[in-house]
Structure 1
Amino acid sequence: MPRGTYVHLTDTGPVEERFQCAPGPGGWRYASTRSDGARVDLTVDSVWRQIRIELATSAWLIRGGLAGHDLLWVRHPAPPGTTEPTEHRERAAGFLADSPAFRIAVARHLALSPAEDRRVRLVHVQGPSLSTLTVDQRWRLAEIDTYETETAPLPVERYEVTDLSTAETHAFHLAGDVVLEAPALELADLESPPNLT
């Protein structure tokens, strides 16, 4: 069960995300808390569909997941009860947010072969207010490099993600269920190896 710490390099300084993740009987689960008070709880099924998510900041909360081809979610202030929650529905493959959990889930769900790419629609959750924006992206598995370790070879995948509305592209590196490197993100500590299955 990988546990560790990611560091988000924000404009106001570094923010730590302490995480743990593990495969389960029907999928995979990721849970984390951040030094700014935000938290993430993501559960995927056996084909890495985001079936249950909870994203929280000190002021806002989102709960949702995939139901068929639609992504459903409710957004409301935290604590609840101060105003009526807002329900949303979008034809999308899943959520994307600052947490590396969502890059992992999308990459594994797409199950790309080397040099293969695919267009995907996602709901991007942003900032302390957890505002949402639907985005269309093209994900490409650019290459896989294998590194020898003390226990077993470690395959590291490099993904290229292009925003189709701006043509901006960024890359990130993934090993199993751990993001090794991404823009404005560092893996600061890893207590156990990634799950590679």
Structure 2
Amino acid sequence: MPHGRYSLHDPHDHTPLGEEHFQCAPGPSGWRYVAQRTSPSGDHAGSVDLTLDELGRPLRVELHAASWQVKGAALDGVTWVRTDPTGEHATEGNVGAHAFTGASPAFLVAISRLLRLEPGAGAVRVRLVAFTDPVLAPLTLDQSWALRGRAGHTTDTGPLVVDEYEVSELDTGEVRTVHIAGDVVLAAPGIELEDLESPPSSFAARPLQHPL
């Protein structure tokens, strides 16, 4: 069960945004990731709880930030409830999208698991609902994902397979590179893996059973 710490920063000006202390593991139903987020000063800043099914779809997501809360799941696309700080004005949302995304590295792992790309297979377009900081406002966006390379590395704990993804934001044209090993993000714009106390977990190989 990997557990460790990511540092988060603005990918453009490198302003520190805090840290995410996480643990994650595959299980009989899929994969679960839980994390606590802290601000640059070390104060508690929120939490992430994401569970995927065996096909990579979000069975449940629960986010907390700045007194806001979001709960969602894959239902008729994706469906969620966002609750304001007072708890008096909850709003519901539903979009014909494939999955959720946001600032947490967990979402990069989740999307890679959903797509299950192979090197040289070409880019795949995916529609997502992003919950943006600092108040978890929902935003529908489209990305293009391509697996540009897969490399094996020898480590003290055994072989490590690293996938290199090219992720394009289709509304802005911004392109970024994301490196993922199993269920851990090794590096991505705005994300650095600072500490990992056990090796990444490997997902069981299963063929993709649902079209995007």
Aligned match for 2:106, one of 98, 101, 109: 101
Runs of 4+ in 1 over 3 A off after TM superposition: none
Counterpart in 1 of 2:28? 25
Counterpart in 1 of 2:196? 190
Q: 1:107, CA displacement in angstroms?
A: 0.4
Distance, in Å, in 2 between the alignment partners of 1:35 and 1:47 is 31
Q: 1:151, CA displacement in angstroms?
A: 3.3
Counterpart in 2 of 1:85? 90
Q: 1:14, CA displacement in angstroms?
A: 4.3
Q: Secondary structure at the match of 1:102?
A: helix
Contact 2:184/2:200 (<8 A) preserved: yes
User: Which AA in structure 1 matches 2:182?
Assistant: G
Counterpart in 1 of 2:65? 57
Contact 1:59/1:128 (<8 A) preserved: no
Q: 1:39, CA displacement in angstroms?
A: 0.5
Aligned match for 1:169, one of 167, 175, 178: 175
1:111-122 → structure 2 map (5 Å cutoff): 111-116=116-121, 117-122=123-128
1:145 aligns with 2:147: no
Q: Secondary structure at the match of 2:9?
A: strand
Distance, in Å, in 2 between the alignment partners of 1:14 and 1:88 is 27
Contact 2:66/2:135 (<8 A) preserved: no
User: Which AA in structure 1 matches 2:98?
Assistant: A
Q: 1:121, CA displacement in angstroms?
A: 0.1
Q: Secondary structure at the match of 1:173?
A: strand
Counterpart in 2 of 1:2? 2
1:70 aligns with 2:77: yes
Q: TM-score, normalised by structure 2?
A: 0.88
The percent of aligned pairs where both chains have the same amino acid is 45
Distance, in Å, in 1 between the alignment partners of 2:199 and 2:130 is 29
User: Which AA in structure 2 matches 1:72?
Assistant: T
Residue-pair matches, total: 194
- In structure 1, stretches of 5+ residues that fail to align are none
Distance, in Å, in 1 between the alignment partners of 2:190 and 2:62 is 23
Q: 1:23, CA displacement in angstroms?
A: 1.0
Distance, in Å, in 1 between the alignment partners of 2:5 and 2:92 is 32
Q: 1:34, CA displacement in angstroms?
A: 0.8
Counterpart in 2 of 1:157? 163
Pair 14,132 (structure 1): closer, same or farther in 2 beyond 3 Å? closer
Q: 1:152, CA displacement in angstroms?
A: 2.2
Q: 1:167, CA displacement in angstroms?
A: 1.6
Pair 134,163 (structure 1): closer, same or farther in 2 beyond 3 Å? same
Deviations 1:20-76 (A, max 9, x none): 001111111000001132100000001110110001113210001101x41000001
